[in-house]
Every structure is written in structure tokens, then in C-alpha cells.
Chain A
Amino acid sequence: MATQTQVIVNPARQRGWLDHVQDWVTTVDHKKIGLMYIGYALIFLVIAGFEAILMRIQLLVPNNHFVSPQDFNRLFTMHGTTMVFFVGMPILFGFGNYLVPLMIGARDMAFPRLNAFSFWVSAFGGLLLYFSYFAGSGLYGAGTAPDVGWFAYAPLTARVFSPGHSTDYWTLSIFISGIGSIGTALNIVATTLCMRCPGMKLSRMPLLVWLYLVTSGLVFVTISPLTAAQIMLCIDRYLGGHFFDTQAGGSAVLWMHFFWIFGHPEVYVLVLPAFAFANEIIPVFSRKAIFGYPAMVAASVGIGFVSLSVWAHHMFTVGMGPGPNAFFTFSTMVISVPTGIKIFNWLATLWGGNIHLTTPMKFAIGFLFQFLIAGLTGIMLSVSPFDWQLGNSYFVVAHFHYVLVGAILFMIFAAFYYWYPKMTGRMLSDKLGSWHFWLFLIGFHLTFDFMHIPGLEGMPRRIYTYEADRGWTLLNQIVSSGAVFQAIATLIFVWNMVVSYFKGEKAGPDPWDAWTLEWSTSSPPPSYNFATLPVVESRRPLWDRKHPEEPDAQYE
């Protein structure tokens, strides 16, 4: 692979800002693309967070008039769609893009140009979705941003119930970003299977790489059903098709099946990378190897497979009959077994260790507690009769935010604090990190612990207001108050990243005394990652180098 290109550079010519922009726009370097994914996702995190704050203000008192019903319905649709597709997916693909080649000792992804294409296509999708706010009302004068909910149930999405183009912005923007997701997943699989450095057998890959491999494999069979369903929806809306047209004998439930065949594995696509980060961060700050590496691999693969069989637990109230209800209850309960194994293995890694509560570790511990609770409320919801009461209520909203914010976002924060030194060469401020952590923790629990209760008291989701006589008012106010803490904490976090870039303590190649290959490069790594490709003999190559008297290689 040693093709040399002569680049003639005029040393007298200054590199202006336009050159930098061109550099980033045309780059195929996995590290730059990873950073663009992450930056892009952070912008959308702030926007979607703002949408959430608007909703929480509207729900402060019954029959509030802060936003109109139409605007509220658009807000929850945009908030959910943005968070899943334009925050969650890009940020996790961004970290994967950055870390996977470094961790396997490769110089780039398998298909660098496909990598760049996937990013720009996904980015375009996000811009298209938000263009709907500006795109005007069209001939029908029927609204701008989509308002059909992030799962866009049929027949609400049919032309007759959703005239105008708002629904189409939803369909097309996600369709386009789905192409990008499949491209990136393809890249990760090909890179992982084909570009590992000598000695790195599959059984020696860092667990992060394993989890990204499983996630990417899952993406192929997860995004595609949604793509298919969206093609069908477009055929219904524009070519007169009847896939989900109940007047012509079509089935609304079919859309639900297709959507959730995507939707459930999608949440595993979002959570497996969070597990990946935990698998790297928890051992380093416990100063111990991960407990039970083979079991962790098996559990991850198992979760990937079982997640494909649980989708209709989102449809327990649809009237599927006792047989399917029982089956999906069972499969959903089964998935708790490998998930529990992972929690116990993390616990066993901490046990007997020497735990350093650095900022990334604080967030990782928060993740552990909160993921445990989220998993348990998930078990409660898997009991279909219980779901007949709690489904489509604020209990469900609390449960999935517990996973998405309490587990995934916490772990993403941990990943930021852990890998920011590698990406920029500077440490993030620990003091600001502490403020970020504690404020966010308080806000998170104020909002999402209390949010379970209105669900238990009959408050359904997706309502722009509620009645005064239901007793939900005080609870909604507590929930809304937590949002303020989370917003401030997030702003502190953004400030930390900006300030530390210029004034942070210099990090050096290995500030955490860690064990995987990315810490053997400089911070930030050179564009070619490794001058000579590393050769590894165990799962923790840097441990072997630092502890030549008892290398991991002896124990595997």
C-alpha cells in the first residue's frame, strides 16, 4: 500500500481559513470525519434540547397557552426524530469512526471515500428535516415541520390526514440519513474484519471494537426495514398505493410492525456503543482488566440477535391476541439475561479494583445505576398486562429517557471526557466537569424519576396539555424544573470543551495510563495514525508493554 504522491507546496503561501474549510469538507480521514459527526450531533443536541424545554414550559400548568397544540405536536415529533437520527446515530458513528481504526492498529477505514459520502449524506438529511420549518406551508397551508410523532403511525400519515408536505420531510430526511448509516456501518464491518494489525485476532480486539461490529451488523437489518416502510409510505402518498390505506383494505398494524422491526433494534444500535464506551472506561479507572471478556462478547452478540425478536412489545395494546402478547413478553424478558450479565461483569470489574473517580468515571458510574433502573422499568413494561396500563403513558416516556439520557447520554459524556485529550491534545477541566456531572445528575433525576408517576396515574404521552382535576400538575412542575438543571449543565459542558481547547492542560499520548492502541499515538494522532503498524500479542497491548513481567499474553 505504499503509493507515493508528490505534493508540491509553495512554502510562501499562507494557509488561509478557506484552505482549512476545504481541508475539512474534502477530507476522507476517519478522524476528521468522526469529529464532524460529533460536532454536528452536538449542534442538534442543543436544538432538540431547546425543543424539549419549550415542551416542558407548555406542560407547567394545565391548559397552558405557551405554544399552540399544533406547535406542541411538531415539537415532540421534531424532538424525538432529531434526538434519535441526528444526535444519537451521528454521535455514536462519530466516536466509532474515530476510534475503531486506531484501536485495531489501522491507518484509516476500509473505504475512506464512502466514509465521507456517508457523513455528508447524513448531514444533508438533518438539514432537510429542519428545512421543513422554513419551507412554508405549500398549497394546502397545512403546516410546516412534521407533526405525526417520531413513529409516524398510519393512517395519520396518509395524505388525507396529513396534507401538505410536512410528513414528507420526515420520510425523506430519515431515508437519506439511513443511506449514510448503512454506509458507515458497512465501513466499520469491513474495517474490523479486514484491517486489523498483525496479531490482533478477533479474540484480541478491544471490546469497543466488538460492540461496534455487532452494532454495525445490527444496522443492516435495522435501518433497512424502515427504509422499506418509508418507500411504501411514499408510494401511498404520491403514487396512490394502498400499503397502509385502511379504506382499501390496507393495514395500519402493518406499518407498526415494520416500524418497530426497525424501532426496537434501533435502540440497541444506540445503546451498544454506550456499552462499548463502558467496556473501555470502567476497566481503566478500576485499574483492572474487564471481568469475563468472552462472556461480554457472547452477551453482546446475544443482545444483538435477541433484539430482533422483541419488537411487538411496542404493540401490546394493539389487539394482537394472547399468543403474540405472550411470545413478545417472553422474548423481551429473555433479553434481560445477557444485559444483566453485562452489568454484573462491570460490577465484577470494579470489585477488587482501585477506583479513581475521575470525571469520565463519575459519568460511567451514573450510567451503571441508571441503566440498572432503566432495565428494571423495561422488565415491568415487558409484562404485557402491566403494559396495557402503562403503555403510551408517561411511564414509558420516563423509561426510555432513562435509557437514552441516563444511560446513553451519560456514557457519551464519559466518552467525551475520556477521549477529548486524545482528539485535541488537551485535558478537559475536571472542575467544570464536576459541575457538569452534579448539576446534570440532579436535573436528570428531578425530571425522569418523577416522570414515572404521572404515567402510573393515567397521564398519556403526546398531549399538549392536561386537565386540572387529574392531580398531575405538581408532578409536571417538578419534571420541568429538572430541565433547567440539565440545560445549564449542558452549557457548562460546551463551555468546558471550548475553553479547554485553548487553555486545557496538555494531555500527552496517554493521560489515563490506559491499555489500548489509541493511547500509543500522539495526542492528537498524526493523520496516518501509526508510522509502523503495531504488532499485538494480547488484548491489552499497552499493559504488556508497561508490565513486561506479567503481560496479559500469559493469561489468555
Chain B
Amino acid sequence: MSTAVALTHEQIEEWKQPSRGIVGMACLVIAESAIFIIFVVAYLFYIGKSLNGPTPREVLEIPWFASICLLSSSITVHFAVLDLRQSRIGRFITWLATTVVLGSIFLAATAMEWYDLIYHYGLTIRTNLFGTTFYSLVGLHASHVIVGLIMLGLALVFGLLGKVNAHHAERLEVVSIYWHFVDAVWVVVFTVVYVVGR
């Protein structure tokens, strides 16, 4: 029959592999990162190359408040996951709601910034290379924030309806990985656009 290296019954029972959801989300994060890297490279490449029009230094103000909101929302969603895992549903809902609010503040601030740039400074996506690369990069990030908020919002709605319990903690963790990714991308975009590019 088999040799001494056969698996014991206990070993078969203990056979553990990583969580599918987390591996899947990690893969998505890698793919999306590659997309963002290309937009960041284009942004960096075109710094200072616009032939005309407003320059970053003239029109950009560092979005301190919005960034703090967005980055704190990573902390709040982390606590939401921890509390859900320990079945503290009330606290989970509070943290999750805070996350959604903070993310929405970030979006609103971005919208206000764009309104200003378009109507006050006349900077649009077609104005010059700065306009093209700025709206593309920041817009791509904002669209990912929107998707993240939709997912978090759905989780919040289900939570408020009383349908979420500790068994769903891993699924929320998967969503939170996406949210952490969105925040990490903002750190890069912020540095490239508002620090290096100015």
C-alpha cells in the first residue's frame, strides 16, 4: 500500500489554505495598481511639458482636510471589521457609518475642487497636458472611491437591516482590503500631484 509518507487523517482534517476572497481581492488590487501606475507614470512624464494654460502651482491647493478624512476612514473600517468579528454589531455599524461619511466628505471636497478649477481657472481635461493628466488620474481614483462607497454603503444598509453577523466578517474584510487599497492609492496620487508636481 502507501509508504510512510501517507497523510494521516488528522493531517487531512487540518489541511488549511488561504481564504479565497482575500486572495481574489489581492489579485484585483494588483491589477488595479498596475492601471494606476500607468496613469501616474503619464502624470510624472508630462510634468512641466504643457505648452500653455494654467500650471499646477497656479491653481492647486493641497487638500489637507479631504486627505485626512479619507485616510482616517481606513482606520475606521479596520475597527468595523474587528468589531464585527467579535459580534459587537452596534459598534460595527457606527464605525462603518463613519467610514462612509468620511469617504463621502472626500468625494464632496474633490467635487468642490474640480468646480473651482473648471469655472474659476478654466482648467478642463482638454486645456493642456496638465489638465488631461490631472483629471484622468484624480478622476480614476475618485471613481474607485465611488465604487468602494457603494460596497460599504450596501454593507451598512444590510447591517442596519439586521442581516449582518460575525459570519460575514471575512467578507467585510475583503471589502476593507479594497478600501485600504483606495486609500493607499490616494497617498501616491497626493504625493505625485500636490507635492512633486507643484
In the complex, whether B147 has a CB less than 8 A from a CB of chain A is no
Within 8 Å by CB of A224, from B23, B24, B31, B125, lies B31
Within 8 Å by CB of B49, from A199, A240, A249, lies A249
Given A182-B31, A235-B125, answer yes or no on A554-B51 (Cβ-Cβ < 8 Å): no
Q: Is the interface of B mostly helix, strand, loop or mixed?
A: helix
In the complex, whether A44 has a CB less than 8 A from a CB of chain B is no
In the complex, whether B128 has a CB less than 8 A from a CB of chain A is yes
A249 and B31: CB pair below 8 A?
Answer: no
Distance in angstroms from A384 CB to nearest chain B CB is 23
Chain A residues with CB under 8 Å of B112's CB are none
Distance in angstroms from A3 CB to nearest chain B CB is 14
Which of B5-13, B61-69, B180-188 is the interface stretch? B5-13
Distance in angstroms from B11 CB to nearest chain A CB is 7
Which of A57-65, A129-137, A225-233 is the interface stretch? A225-233
Chain A residues with CB under 8 Å of B124's CB are 240
Give bound CA distance, A410 to B32, whole Å.
Answer: 34
Chain B residues with CB under 8 Å of A235's CB are 125, 132, 136
- Total residue contacts A-B, CB cutoff 8 A: 127
B45 and A251: CB pair below 8 A?
Answer: yes
Please give the number of chain A residues whose Cβ is less than 8 angstroms from any Cβ of chain B in the complex. Answer: 48
Chain B residues with CB under 8 Å of A231's CB are 136, 140
Chain B residues with CB under 8 Å of A232's CB are 39, 42, 136
In the complex, whether A241 has a CB less than 8 A from a CB of chain B is yes
Chain B residues with CB under 8 Å of A187's CB are 24
Within 8 Å by CB of A110, from B7, B24, B50, B51, lies B24
In the complex, whether B20 has a CB less than 8 A from a CB of chain A is yes
In the complex, whether A537 has a CB less than 8 A from a CB of chain B is yes
Residues of B in contact with A (beta carbons under 8 Å apart): 1-3, 5-7, 11-12, 15, 17-20, 23-24, 27-28, 30-39, 42, 45-46, 49-51, 124-126, 128-129, 132-133, 136, 140
The 10 listed contacts between A and B (C-beta, < 8 Å) are A185-B27, A194-B17, A198-B12, A235-B125, A240-B125, A241-B132, A242-B132, A248-B51, A254-B45, A548-B1
Residues of A in contact with B (beta carbons under 8 Å apart): 110-111, 182, 185-187, 189-190, 193-196, 198-199, 216-217, 219-221, 223-225, 227-229, 231-232, 235-236, 239-243, 248-251, 254, 258, 261, 535, 537, 544, 548, 551, 553-554
Known contacts A228-B38, A239-B125, A241-B136; can you find 4 more A-B pairs with CB under 8 A? Answer: A227-B35, A243-B42, A251-B45, A548-B1
